[in-house]
A and B are shown apart, each in its own frame.
Chain A
Amino acid sequence: QDYTFRATANSNENDEDYDGLVVFKNYVESASNGAIEVELFIGTQLCANGAECLQGVADGSIDIFVTTSGGAAGIFPYVQIFDLPYLMSDDRIAEEVLTNTDLTAQMRERALADSGDTIRIMTIGNTGGWRNFANTERRVTQPSDLEGLKIRTVVADLPQELVRAVGASPTPIPWPELFTSLQTGVVEGTKNGITDIMGMKFPDAGLQYLTLDGHAYMAAIWVMNNEAFTSLPPELQRVVVDGFAALQQATFASPKRKSIDAYAAFVDGGGDLYVPTPDEKVAFQEAASPVYDWFAQNVDGGDEMLTNFRAAITEAEENVNARRERDMP
């Protein structure tokens, strides 16, 4: 082969990131007729967190990496738009935003500029569905039920603002300490996707109440070292771009399939799964609304990217509605 790409994801082989990478590797290696080889490093072997891995992508010691919006916030703060609550209504809208609007291209441009033309956003997929509020204490049907609960967040200001807005106390706990902290009561809740909740066996630690408020889309931002990409001949660039498109589809599909078993296991284990009514969802949205202003004012490039994001969502909703109408008799 002529090109070897090092791809890494800080998760494990049960994660949707891995599913995406397997699809990518398979597509790229065969479509390039073996000219490109993709080496997978799953876990924290090469780098252990968003900041560290993005540094690696910037200097070319890592070619391909997937980060959550939180992981990239330290250098591209505006990617946190995906953590803004209740903007996209469901998977179909989110996928339309990420495939058929200019949002990804706008982010790519901005990220290239901010990284001195080193980090290129290739595509944005999903990792783990949507974030929901889950807790060890009680069923949550409205924001006031969250009041007084200590909810674990990452050490980043946007998720903390959100938790504060709905009346709970944001508590930074490192991920590896979270299980014990839930079990002993250091914190009473989390905001994670169902596959992470089940993967970490949080219900065993008492996390038994889950409200499907779907407050944030768990976007997975796939980046590549810009030079590694642009130095490819055009026909191989095309293979890589198509590979990322296939990867994106795989990461859209994988959490949907995985979450079925995860939800079933959660309920089988005695978990209380609550789906808020449309009215209740509105109550959550209203409670969370201060976060948007906070984001536009406090986050570097936040205002601009939020405007882009809202425009993309409107466009996506129109597209989807038009197609829906066409598909119905």
Chain B
Amino acid sequence: MAAILNSIRWLGALNAGALAVGRWVGVACMALMVVFILVQVFWRYVLSDPLPWPEEAARFGMLWLMVVAPTALRRGGFVAIDMIQRILPRLLGGVLALILLVLSLVVLVVAVRIGWAEVTGFSGRFTSSSLYYPTSGGWEKMPRAWMMASLVTGLAMMVSVVVELILRQVVRLAGRGGALPPIPEAVDVAAGAE
């Protein structure tokens, strides 16, 4: 048990760090997206000189918002129907929660494996149509892999989060929930385009 608690502390610290970095990336992406689109509108509508790149650049930013999602997951911001879990007796409910976490982990691990193959394989070799990056030999078209890496990064961070949540659930089931370090900032991030 002590070993588990120890690994939770380590993994928790690792996750907290990675997630904090992810949140700042997300903040920057959000701000840049707005700037890019305003640039696009200004150049086209005011200067009548449309630019080719802001659309794709803004999409690049939106895709990298993915690295914020693990924070939402860790804080319980993924919407689920928890009715049955609440109806069940405590122990059964706890076991069900553990099973659900394991199912989530399976989904994530499979997705990360496919995602990594996508980024490094044929798919990643497609080039962007309007974004370039500088090299010693001049400007090169950006590979799509740089955009595709966003999702797999977010999913990989979620794997780490779910492993931590599984360990925490095991500790709780063993009746040692009180010894768990808390997850800070339970900001309510209920999902909703709705």
Contact = CB atoms under 8 A, between A and B. Distances in A.
A contacts B: CB pair < 8 Å = yes
Interface of A: 51, 54-55, 58-59, 73-75, 77, 115-116, 118, 148, 150, 154-157, 160, 169-172, 174, 186
Contacts, number: 53
A116 B129 contact: no
B129 A74 contact: yes
Contacts of B85: none
Contacts of A156: 129
Contacts of A169: 48-50
Given A51-B126, A74-B144, A155-B129, A172 B52 contact: yes
A172 B125 CA distance: 23
A155 B130 contact: yes
A170 B52 contact: yes
Tell which of A54, A154, A155 has the most Cβ of chain B within 10 Å. A155
Contacts of A115: 122
B50 A171 contact: yes
A75 B50 contact: no
Chain B at the A interface: mostly helix, strand, loop or mixed? mixed
Contact of A172 (B50, B118, B127): B50
Contact of A155 (B55, B118, B123, B126): B55
B23 to A, nearest CB: 29
B44 interface: yes
Contact of A74 (B49, B50, B118, B127): B127
A55 B117 CA distance: 12
B44 A171 contact: yes
A116 B123 CA distance: 12
Contacts of B122: 55, 58-59, 115-116, 118
A172 B56 CA distance: 10
B193 to A, nearest CB: 17
Contacts of B55: 155, 172, 174
9 contacts: A58-B123, A59-B122, A73-B129, A75-B125, A115-B122, A155-B52, A155-B130, A156-B129, A171-B50
